[in-house]
Each structure stands twice: as structure tokens, then as C-alpha cells.
Structure 1
Amino acid sequence: MTDKNAYIEKAKAKIDEWNAEIDKMKAQVDEADADAKIEAQKQLDEAREQRDEAEAKLKELREASDDAWDDMKAGFDKAWDSISGAFDNAMSRFK
């Protein structure tokens, strides 16, 4: 497996992990009382937005040519750190 493929698979696995966290959050939102539900829904929406952004960046990375891989990877790493931090922040406010 090439470095590019391994890197993409690792990022995809993290997004899958986030999807599982979002599913758990959704179940908790469904069980919350009215006031808590409003705030929890905001956090859930924020987490989904971060996940969607990560998936879009991953798609760009997948479609990058081998020649552009190094440049794309550097940009992806920076964006990933930001997205990951925002996702973790949304999750921590939910708990």
C-alpha cells in the first residue's frame, strides 16, 4: 500500500469514528428534555458540519495526482488539525 493510500485509509477510519460519535450524540439528543435538546442539537449540527468538511478535504486528497500529493498532504494536515480540534470541541461541550 502506498503512503498516499495508507494516509487516506487512516483519515477515513477517523471519519468513521466520528460518525459513530455523531450517532451516539444523536441518540442522546433524542432522549434529552426540551431545553437540553436545543443546545445538544446545536452541538450535533456543529459536529456534523466538521465531519462533512473533513470528508470534503479527504475527497480532494483522494483525487490529487501523485505529483501533487506532497503539496496536498501538507494542506490537508493543516486543515485536518483545525477540523479535528473543532469536532473534539463540539463533542466535549456536548458531554
Structure 2
Amino acid sequence: MALRDAYMDKLDAQLRESQAEIQRLTAKASSARAEARVAVEEKIAELHSRQQALTRRVESLRNAGDDAWQDLVSGAETAWSELRSSVRSAAQRF
């Protein structure tokens, strides 16, 4: 169980990290020109959607039995990788 708890702590930290980055992008959007603001806001909406998907996966992991745990971990890793990549891309672009 210690490994599982550590993994959940890691995912929780990653979610907080991504939320902080999304908040930074939101702050940038408010000071961007109108046409740039639209692009940033669209990207932020996408990031929120990806983050919500990861949050749902984390909750599934939290509630999963041992048998389902391993199957759900790979999905959570994929969701985290996609979110992280999208956040980094947005941060570099904007």
C-alpha cells in the first residue's frame, strides 16, 4: 500500500502543479491583445478539460481495488503525460 499511497501523492502534486500553470496562463490571457486572448482562452479551456479527465482518473485510482489498480495506472500516466505536454506547449507559445 505504501507504493500506492506514494503514487497517489505524486499524482496529486502533479495536479496541483498543472493547476498553478493554468492559473499563470489565465493571468497572461487577461493582459493579452484581443486576438491573442481568444487563442489563450481556447487553450486554457482545453487544459481544463484535460485536467478534469486526469482528476477523474485519479479518483478512479483512489477507489480501485488491487486488481484494477495496474490497469488504471497506465491510463492515468497517459492522461498526465498529455496534460503536461499541453501545459508546456501553451506556456512556451504564450
TM-score over 0.5 for the pair? yes
Structure 1 residue 50 and structure 2 residue 78: aligned? no
Q: Among the aligned pairs, what percent are the same residue? A: 30
Instruction: Give, in whole Å, the separation in 2 of the partners of 1:56 and 1:76.
Output: 9
Q: Deviations over 1:15-73 (max 9, x none)?
A: 10000001101111111111111111111111111111111111111110123222322
Please give the TM-score of this superposition, normalised by the length of structure 1: 0.82
Equivalent pairs counted in the alignment come to: 94
Q: Which moved more, 1:6-15 or 1:75-84?
A: 75-84
Residue in structure 2 matched with residue 62 of structure 1 by the alignment: 62
Q: What is the Cα deviation at residue 80 of structure 1?
A: 3.2
Instruction: Give, in whole Å, the separation in 2 of the partners of 1:30 and 1:9.
Output: 32
Structure 1 pair 24/86, CA: closer, same or farther in 2 (3 Å)?
closer
Structure 1 residue runs without a partner (length 5+): none
Structure 1 pair 27/14, CA: closer, same or farther in 2 (3 Å)?
same
Q: Which moved more, 1:5-14 or 1:65-74?
A: 65-74
The answer as to whether partners of 2:26 and 2:44 remain within 8 angstroms in 1 is: yes
Please give the TM-score of this superposition, normalised by the length of structure 2: 0.83
Residue in structure 2 matched with residue 72 of structure 1 by the alignment: 72
Q: Which moved more, 1:84-93 or 1:54-63?
A: 84-93
**SS across alignment from 1:19:** helix
Structure 2 residue runs without a partner (length 5+): none
